[in-house]
Amino acid sequence: MSKDYYEILGVNKGASKDEIKKAFYKLAHKYHPDKKEGDEKKFKQVNEAYQVLSDDSKRSKYDQFGSGFENMGQGGYGGASQGGFEGFDFGGFSQGFSNGGADFDFGNLNDIFSDFFTGGNRGGRSQTRRGRDISTEIQISFSESIFGTNRKILITKTSNCTTCGGSGTKSGTKMETCKYCNGQGKVREAKRTILGIISTTKTCEECLGSGEVPKEKCDNCKGKGVLRREEEVSINIPEGIRDGEMIRMTGGGEAISKGTPGDLYIKINIASHAIFKREGNDLVMNLDLKLSDALLGT
């Protein structure tokens, strides 16, 4: 059944953008789930209606085809749970809403709404921290590219602490519950906005989402679990590799505390050969011959 976005916002079909925006502000404030009289279902409907009617292109398609336009082709509105508030300029909230001179945080409203429509899981324990990918390049000989080889190189990068194995704890001691988040791995943060006081959830900065911290920190890495050091990396270069190809070593990149390491990418540069050159999978060479040798053989 087609949804009447104009009716949801309480405006007529000829309403201006300003009228639509004001209607949205009023209803979003009224139905926000964090309010005592809030209504989550209506709040999402209001957001969905505003996302369409505030966009000239989407509004035109809606007026022509109804709310079903979102399923036509590749375009259209994907629903509040997908699109969030990416197309909405929250800076407009600050115009005409002084609330008696009180100060509001408008800059983080997009994050607040994103938290709400994704179930508050942004930055939660379900997300895995991942280290940075790094890259380097090496040069090999022409013959090594044909027959394959193994190279060992030294790379300075952030790696797991060899003393504590990445745990950050001192040898012989245990982990304890993080007091900052009470072992939840997440903390709630209240922000004052035009919609009132809104709570969002973020990863605990003390335990990085694990819910535990070292009872006594490792002396080598100071409890971080990682440190910068030079590490030898063995690279297996397959036979037939081409100039400029990249080799990916999963987990060979930067390590990160309480997360998975990034990847290492190695670009292979092949030195030219004095006689041969490669064309596809063929070896080609130029040979100067006398005309008589070419005609009669040699």
Q: Within a domain: residue 276?
A: yes
Task: Indicate the residue among 88, 109, 142 that finishes a domain.
Answer: 88
Same domain (yes/no): 13, 72: yes
Rounded percentage of the chain residues whose pLDDT exceeds 70: 77
Number of domains in the chain: 2
pLDDT of amino acid 191: 75
Whether 211 contacts 183, CB under 8 Å = yes
Same domain (yes/no): 84, 146: no
Same domain (yes/no): 153, 249: yes
Range of the domain at 43: 5-88
Statement: residue 94 has pLDDT above 50: no
**Maximum C-alpha span of the chain:** 104
- What confidence tens digit (pLDDT) does each residue in 185-211 have? 889 887 777 667 777 888 888 888 888
**CATH, residue 257:** 2.60.260.20
Same domain (yes/no): 138, 256: yes
- What confidence tens digit (pLDDT) does each residue in 28-58 have? 878 877 676 778 888 888 888 898 898 888 8
pLDDT confidence tier of residue 122, bands split at 50, 70 and 90: very low
Q: Count other Cβ atoms within 10 Å, centred on residue 64.
A: 8
Same domain (yes/no): 59, 138: no
Q: Is the pTM of this model over 0.85?
A: no
Phi then psi for residue 47, to 5 deg, are -60, -45
Q: Within a domain: residue 117?
A: no
Q: Say which DSSP state 229 is in.
A: E
Rounded percentage of the chain residues whose pLDDT exceeds 90: 32
Residue with tokens 């300075």: 156
